[in-house]
Structure 1
């Protein structure tokens, strides 16, 4: 049995992904930048998700990068209406000029080995270690 990669004692943030090429996320978030929930795949990772843990929104595709930082607003739950798992969020997508691009993140040696780069086809959620989350917060302009 493979070991679990994500451990709570080294969890810096969850990374939730959306494909900005497949769905027009730019238009969606221009109208409603507040994200109150996002789909996740059930796994051991979703069982570790708890209210108030940090969360990062990653857009994949041609405009890939970090588009928002926030918090989980609760634990993942199965929605009867669509049969999918969703996690409640307290997250707002930043205006385009404040987002961090894939290139900016890769240029920082502290972030060059993010799971999102190593396994871009991985399912939601991905994660950041504590050190990676600190580096991202610094680039984002968040003072701890």
Structure 2
């Protein structure tokens, strides 16, 4: 059985890389729904993820996330952009990659986590962005995902410089 994203990241010794390629995720998420309804202040940021990132980066692990996004961005990406400060403050580095800059990149078929440069975890989603499964990839997949991540990172725009 594949680990959860949090379990996979918590096990990192040197590095964590996250490659995201969807324009929406988990539309059933109460945090997203509150933001969409203009009641975001009623729902503080879920504390588990920033706490995990602080713990992992506190051990000296580098955590980077590349988000490939369509422009103009979707409403869900506006939500992600508005809520990214929490993970950046916790120590995660985030770059936004306009899809036009990623058009020539060889990318995996779904989002992935790469830990320590030698393990990859794929996450599979339904059409409306709900997680439907996770799977560990083999050695060839690790190489593909590392190359894809680094290529996307190279053309990405740091969070503090990106505007939606």
Smaller-chain TM-score bracket: 0.3 to 0.5
Higher helix residue share: 2
Q: TM-score normalised to the size of structure 1?
A: 0.35
